[in-house]
Every structure is written in C-alpha cells, then in structure tokens.
Structure 1
Amino acid sequence: MNKTIIAVHGRAGEGKSETIKKVCEIILRDFPNAIPSIIPNYSGDILLTIQLDKIKIGFESQGDPNSRMIYDDTIKKLADKELSKEFGGCDIIICATRTGGMTVKKVDKIANIYGYNTLWISSFFGPKINHSVLNNKAANNIIEIVKALIIKQL
C-alpha cells in the first residue's frame, strides 16, 4: 500500500474539520473491526488513530496556522512510529490544512521526510448551501479514496 496523506485544504470556516470528523465517524460506524486509539469527542477537533486490520489511519482535524498541527508537530507524530508509539506509523493520514502557508509546508515536509504520497482535496463549500450535506458528501468521497488505497488501486 502507498503511504498517503490526504490533506483537506480550504479557507477558515469551510468545513475541513467537520469533513474529517465525519470520515472518522463513518469508518467507526461502517467497519466493525475498526479500533480507535481513543473514543473521539466530535464536539471539538480530533487527533486519533484507527487500526483497520493491518492499516493504521491517523486523523488531525486541527489545521489552522499556529495550531496543534504546528506547535505540537502532530502530523510528524502520526507519521513517525519511533517518535510516538501511540500515534506513529500511520499508513494513511487525514488532516486539515489551509490553502497555503505553514500548514501546507508542514504536510509537504512530513510527506517528503517519511515517504508519503500527498493527495490534496479541497473542502466542499457553498455559502448558501447546507454545510452538513456538503461535509457528508466530501467525507464519503474521502472514504472511497481510503478504500482504494487499502485495496491498492491508488
């Protein structure tokens, strides 16, 4: 399987975090063998891993400049099994980033150091369209990509 970072990018308030939390929720609901590192609390941002048979998926929904992703180096912790026994060694990392700047640079840096492919996906956003529906659609698209990665289509 190709190690991959799926980076959901967009401007502030456009549904990146909600989409990532929905992906986590769907995996835990639809895959009975999925084992989370912690029980996620969807009221805020999430940082956790899910073991899905031999595949480890990491989630970081906090992707703003100067957020935990930057100051606590959470993407590196999800990638590096020596740095973090609890979180490290993920095959797939799903994270939020802005459209440019330090969060994008962080994803690029970790992908290069740890040999990940990077898939950049924009969040779905329409100012007058139901955000919940858009986040669900975006999450289901990411689920299909995860499935394709697992069965080695990508």
Structure 2
Amino acid sequence: MFQPHILALKGPINIGKTTTIKIVRRKILDHYGNQAIETDFLSKRATSDIKRIIEIGEFKIGIESQGDPVGPSKGLGRLHDSLKYFDEQGCNLIICTSRDSGKTAEYINAYESKYTIISYKKIKEPENKMESIWNITATEIFNKVISLYDDFNKAK
C-alpha cells in the first residue's frame, strides 16, 4: 500500500521557497506532458503564490507555495486550509513551503500520522548563487516526485 507524502520546503522569508516550488511544478508538467491535468485554485491577479492540484492518472499532487505565516486577522492561513483541502481531495503527495518552526511547521506536522513528511531545508544564499540553488533544490524535489509516482504505480 502506498504511503502518502508531504514534501515540505522549509526556511526563512525571502529565500526563494515559492520560486523553487514553481520550478518543481514546471518540471512535473514538462515531464508528464498531457498526462498531467492541472487545476489552479487562485486568481492570477491575487498573488504570486500558487495553489494547484496536478493529476497524473490516479496520482494526485497538491502544491501550495505560501508557507510564510499570516497575521491573526487572516485566520489560520492558507497553508493550513490548503493542507486540509488537499487531504480531503485524496492527494497522494503534497508539496508545500513552510518556515522551519512556528505555526506553518505545526500545520504540516499535524499530518504526520497520515503522511510521511520529508523536509528540504532552504537557507539564505548569496545573490549570485540563488538561481542555481533554486534549480538544484527543485531537481532534488522533482526526483523524489518521480520516485513516489513510481512507488504509487507499483503499489496499485
């Protein structure tokens, strides 16, 4: 039986977590081509973040790029709501961003009884290295996506 996973890219504010997750999304869509069906849950004008579900056959991937905490006036925040939604939709894999600790990390950890959680750590990089580090991290996460997709299909 396949164990669902959460791949969480963690780190402080403004280090490229969202950019890295967007690169992962693009790699998934490029790799799986028209096998992948993507649903966008945000208005393009609303934010630079993304909230998507990509379906590749029966394999569902939820992607949420907003992992920085939000103010108390905004409720629990989008990551909290997205994790719940992706779980309710039966996502086999959730890819998200988060801070290293605090509320967003707690939201992810709340799913550890149902999902295997794998964290990827992002740190502040020198400006001239940021783009190459984003691609290295995105490739690492993407390779895990392929591996989990293969495991899912073997378990069917």
Q: Same fold (TM over 0.5)?
A: yes
Provide structure 2 residue ranges, at least 5 long, that are not aligned to the other structure.
Answer: 71-76
Residue aligning to 1:36: 38
Residue 82 of structure 2 corresponds to residue 78 of structure 1: no
Identity %: 30
Residue aligning to 1:69: 79
Provide structure 1 residue ranges, at least 5 long, that are not aligned to the other structure.
Answer: 81-87
**Preserved CA contact (<8 Å) 2:12 2:123:** no
- Using the size of structure 1 for normalisation, the TM-score is 0.84
**Preserved CA contact (<8 Å) 2:7 2:94:** yes
Distance 1:38 1:91 in 2: 17
Distance 1:39 1:99 in 2: 25
Computing the radius of gyration from Cα coordinates, the structure with the larger value is: 2
Which AA in structure 2 matches 1:116? Y
Deviation at residue 136 of structure 1 after TM alignment: 1.2
**Preserved CA contact (<8 Å) 1:15 1:124:** no
**CA deviation vs aligned residue, 1:72-128 (integer Å, no higher than 9, x gap):** x11111111xxxxxxx2100000000010000000011333xx10000111264124
Aligned 1:1-154 pairs, distance under 5 A: 1-32=2-33, 33-38=35-40, 44-66=48-70, 67-70=77-80, 73-80=81-88, 88-112=89-113, 115-123=114-122, 125-152=124-151
Which AA in structure 2 matches 1:16? K
Deviation at residue 38 of structure 1 after TM alignment: 2.7
- Using the size of structure 2 for normalisation, the TM-score is 0.83
